[in-house]
């Protein structure tokens, strides 16, 4: 697996840590394990899917859906990071 530069330099997890483990267990077909490693992955995949769909088919409300999906994904990543850091330190 690819090493995380921030974790190697500072010793702390970055907001994206867990993404690669999650993606690999998703490729193996282990959905539950994938969700446990990195919950926002589902939203990120949905975002990519809508993005590709909008790129090729030019959906009517594509831009609005993309905007709100983007905001939701960011909030989910932030919440995931805060919860993870709290559970690691406590």
Partner 1 sequence: MVYNTEHIPLLFILVFLVIVFIQSGVDKIINWKGNLEFTLSTLSSKIPSFLVVFALFIVLLLETFGGFASIGGIIELIFCKDQYLWAQIGITSCSSALIVLLLGQRISQNYVDAKTIVIYFIVALIGLTLVF
- Site of interaction with partner 1 (CB under 8 A): 1-3, 24, 27, 55-56
Local structure of residue 39 (DSSP, 8 states): T
SS3 24: helix
Contact between residue 34 and residue 41 where contact means Cβ atoms under 8 Å apart: yes
Minimum distance of partner 1 from residue 45's CB (angstroms): 13
Report the residue number, 55 or 75, with the smaller CB distance to partner 1: 55
CB of 35 to partner 1, least distance (A): 21
How far is it, in rounded angstroms, from Cα 56 to Cα 54?
Answer: 6
CB 71 → partner 1: shortest distance, Å? 25
């Amino acid at each position: 697996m690819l090493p995380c530069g921030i974790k190697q330099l500072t010793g702390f997890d970055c907001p994206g840590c867990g993404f690669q483990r999650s993606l690999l267990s998703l490729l193996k077909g282990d959905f539950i394990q994938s969700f446990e490693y990195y919950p926002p992955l589902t939203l990120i995949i949905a975002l990519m899917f809508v993005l590709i769909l909008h790129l090729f088919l030019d959906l009517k409300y594509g831009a609005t859906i993309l905007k709100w999906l983007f905001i939701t994904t960011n909030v989910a990543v932030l919440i995931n990071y805060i919860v993870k850091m709290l559970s690691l330190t406590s």
